[in-house]
C-alpha cells in the first residue's frame, strides 16, 4: 500500500478491510515520514503499533 491509499482509507466513511501480516487492523493515522502508519487490531484491544505502510494490504 502507498501513502495516497492510506490517506484515502482514512478519509473514507466506508469500512475498508486492511490487513497487516494476515491480521485485520484499523489504520489510526499516517505518520509524518509518509512511510509508516499507526494501526491497531480490530476488536476490543486498543494496543497500537507503528508499521511500514508497504506491509499493509487491502483484504
Supply the pLDDT for residue 1. Answer: 97
Supply the pLDDT for residue 45. Answer: 77
Residues 18, 8: Cα–Cα separation, whole Å? 12
Residues 15, 52: Cα–Cα separation, whole Å? 21
Domains of the chain: 3-58 (2.30.30)
9: helix, strand or coil: helix
Supply the pLDDT for residue 46. Answer: 78
**Over its length of 59 residues, how does the chain's per-residue pLDDT go in tens digits?**
999 999 999 999 999 999 999 999 999 999 999 999 999 999 887 789 999 999 999 98
Residues 14, 52: Cα–Cα separation, whole Å? 23
Amino acid at each position: 500500500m502507498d501513502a495516497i491509499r492510506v490517506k484515502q482509507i482514512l478519509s473514507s466513511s466506508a469500512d475498508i478491510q486492511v490487513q497487516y501480516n494476515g491480521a485485520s487492523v484499523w489504520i489510526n493515522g499516517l505518520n509524518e515520514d509518509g512511510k509508516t502508519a499507526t494501526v491497531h487490531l480490530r476488536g476490543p484491544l486498543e494496543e497500537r503499533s507503528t508499521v511500514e505502510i508497504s506491509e499493509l494490504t487491502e483484504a
